[in-house]
Amino acid sequence: MGRLTLFLRLWLWFSFRHLRAHYRRTLAVVAGIALGAAVFTSVRLAVHASIDSFTRTVDTLTGKADRVVIHPGGRVPESVVSQLAKHPWVESASPVMTTYVRAVERWTGPFLLVGIDPILDRPLRTWETRDRDVASGLRASAWIDLLREPFSVLLGDGLARRLDVREGGRVEIQGPRGNTPFRVVGILESRGLGAAEGGETALVDIATFQEFTGQPGFVDRVDLLFKPGIPSQEVESLRALLPAALVLEMPGESRESGRLLIRSYELNLSVLSFVSLFVGMFLIYSLVALNAASRRHELAVLRCLGASSRLLFVLFLFEGVFFGVVGWLTAVPLSGFLVGRMLHGVSETISLLFVRVRVDQVGLDSREVALSLLVTVLISILAAWQPARQAMKVPPREALLIRDSLAERRGSARKIAFLGTVLILLVWPLSQLPGIAGIPVGGYLGTFLLFAGFSLVSPWVLSLLGDKMPEVLRKVGGEPGFLGARTIRDAGARIAISVGALITATALFVALVIMVHSFRQTVTAWVNQTITGDLFLRPRMAEFNHYRDPLPRAAVKTLKELETPVQVLPYRRIFLHQGNIRYQFEAIDFPVFLRYAKFLLLEGKPEEMIPKLTEGEGVLISEVFANRSRLRLGDTYRVRIRGVEIHRPVVGIFRDYRTQGGVVHYSLSHFQELTGDDSWGGARVHLVDPGPDPQASAARVREEIHRRCVECVPGVEITLGNDLRRGVLRIFDETFAITTVLLFIALFIAALGIATTLMVLVLERAREFHILLAVGAERSQVRRMILWEAVLMVLTGEIIGLGCGFCLSWILVYVINRQSFGWTFVYAVDWSSLLASLPLVLAAALLATLPASRWVFRRSPAQILRQG
């Protein structure tokens, strides 16, 4: 206890008062750490809330089911329910149907409509309605009305608020067969089914659902609750009971496959948000190192007076802890502000790209909060470690100002550069390691080694610059240039750390600009070459409902009988999963497709591939599916759809950027022949003669379809080709909005670091500047010397950062993206963006020197030099 008291007292006297006396730089570092911690925390909380919402919804919808019966590519006949219910080990068999729909007015966002049998479903899922006013004479149980009254609905609390409707009110819902009015017979409590999708759920009786969707006699799935202790052979006997087309599977598979989709996005966002904290680490390192260097004499005095080297180490390490804790505490309100904004962006992105999530609020997850504190403090301790080690090495003899060996300092820059080079060389082998459970561990490690390696090389580069450049700069910038270069050479670690921060932020900026540009270029090529078509038809809400419902027959008939000459490309899209891998099985008409579009092939020869695809003797798989399933050219793809086994060799692998898993293409005609399913999931329409204005011609065809097919208006979504392609690219741009924000925050923190270092270096050299004035230098010359130092520092950081950024962009494109999401893209550099943005950082840093210069010249040389 005594030792702790001594330490805290000493820290307060020696360290805290110094930080307080130099409060501006202290605040700058706290602000940098707070921003980094706030970004990290808010991103983690937002992602966690989104995943939590998804998991809760899936778990709520799954309920207590032990198994589910589904029909891949189709629906389950209702007759199966009674057969299963008779099994001696089945406690309950409950049919379930779900679809996303929209209300016609008030609020038109999509919400989940669930159809269940209220009696059969009771053992599996919980849901409660708000108690009615018994005194008014109404019955207490609203769910009975669901059974008695067709087209009655229970609304989740969140949905009721959105639609501004109460019990007894009416809501009109858009369905495949038109708009249907429903009577609201109750409001669900916000628990159980009522909590799914953030309360934006509606519950109807299954018969109502079947009539609403035009699916009499069929259900989406049957959930089974077993009696306790069911032997495994009885589960197998259930399988034998089912018709060939039906499958018995575990209920959690959709949750796990959905989580897998989100996980890569979650990880990448977390890593990106962590970079802000990582850059903030340089800020701490920079200030603690500056403190240790500028107070070297005081440290020597402390050693003289009997302080052990270990005590000095802990004193400076504790400065790191101080910054970490205070920074984190400052981040708390900032996180509260950021998380709301992040939550909207993150949940929208996840919903757009992967799985639907509805988050109404962010819970304060104690684990995430603890993780954020732990990471922030650990990072801060790590940052202060090396300066603390340097501080503990200060010999007591320096209190007497006895000369030290210069050779050690020079030698250490070379040794550090050697270590940095080794780290950079390790990046290549690390990045070649396969991912672990889909996580590009080698890629992430390689990224941080790259940052560390290039940062460690910077002191040597700076000292080399300081050695070689002075004479050159003397010619260019006169004596101020010469002196500026000399300062860079001798400043050593004091500036190298801030340059390291700038290298990290610049590298990240460069790498992400290249990655996003490469990605966009490739996606644009994909959109323009693969997603061709003047019109796209699909069932309304098909994207939300995973193309479960086919195009109405009337729409198919209309397309076949259009007056305008068109070429129709039908397709059948079925969402499946292979273990934890979600993908889309899409049967298409290959000859028609290849007349108007092409695949961006990665493997396979078109002349060999196309005949096999057309004859139904092979499948074409996407790069994502290939990477996830590990199927290669020549391997056999196996699937069971509508009770039919399809085994075909992989004849080609192509680039595809659909985000809801991979894609497998098969011949439509052969699929229809094998399965007997001749329905269309959707269709593309190509105009034979688009005319001078293809957009207008396509709009006219859309009008013709609406005119000829009245049923198509409510049940079919018709999108103009250009609108669809623009929409895809807009989604792409929106998904990178968060990335761009995080990137600029990291850049800002790095710029803060550079600005703080420049200011401190200027302020601490006031005596040196005044010596120059005393021997005849002009103020403008001294200012130019400071400017040259800033220019050299920032240019060094940016040039090394540029090199590091190109290396990092390679890792992002070919390692992290491939292992995280399964795709790669064509590498392309956006030189104009890069070259336009880098000077901005230089300008920002140079601006930082102005107030410091002004402060230095406030007092006269006589005053400064007299103080000693």
Partner 1 sequence: MKQWNELTTAGGTGVHPAGPIIAARGLTRVYPLEACEVIGINEVDLEVRAGELVVLKGDSGSGKSTLLALLGGMDRPTRGCLMVAGQDLSTAGVWDLTRFRREVVGMVFQSFNLLPTLSALENVCLPALLAGVSYGKVRSKAMELLAWLGLESRVHHLPGQLSGGEMQRTAIARALINDPPLILADEPTGDLDSANGHRVMEHLGELNRRQGRTVLIATHSTLADPYATRTVRLKDGGIAEMTWAD
Phi and psi dihedrals of 171, rounded to 5?
-140, 135
CB of 2 to partner 1, least distance (A): 7
Which has the closest alpha carbon to 469: 845, 795, 777, 839?
Answer: 795
b/e map 183-203, b = 16+ CB within 10 Å: ebbbbbbeeebbbbbbbbbbb
Rg (the chain; Cα; Å):
33
CB of 320 to partner 1, least distance (A): 19
Which residues, 6 or more positions from 516, have their beta carbon under 8 angstroms from its beta carbon? 736, 739, 740
CA-CA distance, 350 to 842, in Å (whole number)? 36
Asked if 657 and 533 count as a contact pair (C-beta separation under 8 A), the reply is no
Q: Give 18 or 767: the residue with its C-beta nearer to partner 1.
A: 18
Which has the closest alpha carbon to 825: 622, 528, 521?
Answer: 521
Residues 588, 590, 592, 598, CA torsion sign:
positive
CA-CA distance, 71 to 793, in Å (whole number)? 65
CB of 659 to partner 1, least distance (A): 57
CB of 496 to partner 1, least distance (A): 21
CB of 438 to partner 1, least distance (A): 51
Residue 813 carries which DSSP code? I
* ∠ Cα 120 126 127 (to 5°): 100
CB of 404 to partner 1, least distance (A): 8
Q: Give 309 or 672: the residue with its C-beta nearer to partner 1.
A: 309
CA-CA distance, 36 to 56, in Å (whole number)? 30
CB of 792 to partner 1, least distance (A): 24
Which residues, 6 or more positions from 849, have their beta carbon under 8 angstroms from its beta carbon? 758, 759, 762, 786, 787, 790
Q: Please report, for residues 22, 196, 354, 658, 862, the alpha-carbon distance to residue 319 in angstroms, rounded to integers and kept in the order given.
A: 14, 47, 43, 49, 35
CB of 13 to partner 1, least distance (A): 5
Q: Give 314 or 503: the residue with its C-beta nearer to partner 1.
A: 314
Q: Give 135 or 402: the residue with its C-beta nearer to partner 1.
A: 402
CB of 292 to partner 1, least distance (A): 15
CB of 7 to partner 1, least distance (A): 10
CB of 469 to partner 1, least distance (A): 21
Q: Give 395 or 839: the residue with its C-beta nearer to partner 1.
A: 395
CB of 315 to partner 1, least distance (A): 12
Looking from the CA of 836 toward its CB, the CA atoms found within 13 Å total: 5
Q: Give 162 or 303: the residue with its C-beta nearer to partner 1.
A: 303
* ∠ Cα 98 579 440 (to 5°): 115
Q: Give 12 or 737: the residue with its C-beta nearer to partner 1.
A: 12
Q: Give 21 or 134: the residue with its C-beta nearer to partner 1.
A: 21
Q: Give 311 or 802: the residue with its C-beta nearer to partner 1.
A: 311
CA-CA distance, 489 to 326, in Å (whole number)? 34
Which residues, 6 or more positions from 459, have their beta carbon under 8 angstroms from its beta carbon? 413, 416, 417, 492, 493, 496
Residue 231 carries which DSSP code? -
Q: Give 14 or 89: the residue with its C-beta nearer to partner 1.
A: 14
Q: Give 464 or 554: the residue with its C-beta nearer to partner 1.
A: 464
Q: Give 16 or 827: the residue with its C-beta nearer to partner 1.
A: 16
Q: Give 18 or 708: the residue with its C-beta nearer to partner 1.
A: 18
Q: Give 312 or 576: the residue with its C-beta nearer to partner 1.
A: 312
Phi and psi dihedrals of 472, rounded to 5?
-65, -45
Which has the closest alpha carbon to 459: 379, 386, 391, 511?
Answer: 386
- Where in 349-407 does DSSP place strands (E)? none
In this structure, what token pair is assigned to residue 682? 């959707």
Q: Give 297 or 598: the residue with its C-beta nearer to partner 1.
A: 297
CA-CA distance, 129 to 145, in Å (whole number)? 12
Burial status of residue 792 (CB atoms within 10 A of its CB: 0-12, 13-18, 19 or more): buried
CB of 775 to partner 1, least distance (A): 23
CB of 1 to partner 1, least distance (A): 11
Q: Give 3 or 139: the residue with its C-beta nearer to partner 1.
A: 3
Which has the closest alpha carbon to 462: 442, 479, 484?
Answer: 484
Q: Which residues bind partner 1 (CB under 8 A)?
A: 2-3, 5-6, 9-10, 13-14, 17-18, 21, 297-298, 301-309, 311, 395-397, 399-403, 405-407, 410, 868
Residues in the chain: 868
CB of 10 to partner 1, least distance (A): 7
In this structure, what token pair is assigned to residue 14? 């020696």
Find the DSSP H helices in 393-440: 406-431
Q: Please report, for residues 385, 423, 507, 800, the alpha-carbon distance to residue 447 in angstroms, rounded to integers and kept in the order given.
A: 21, 10, 10, 15
CA-CA distance, 29 to 36, in Å (whole number)? 11
Phi and psi dihedrals of 355, rounded to 5?
-135, 155
CB of 405 to partner 1, least distance (A): 6
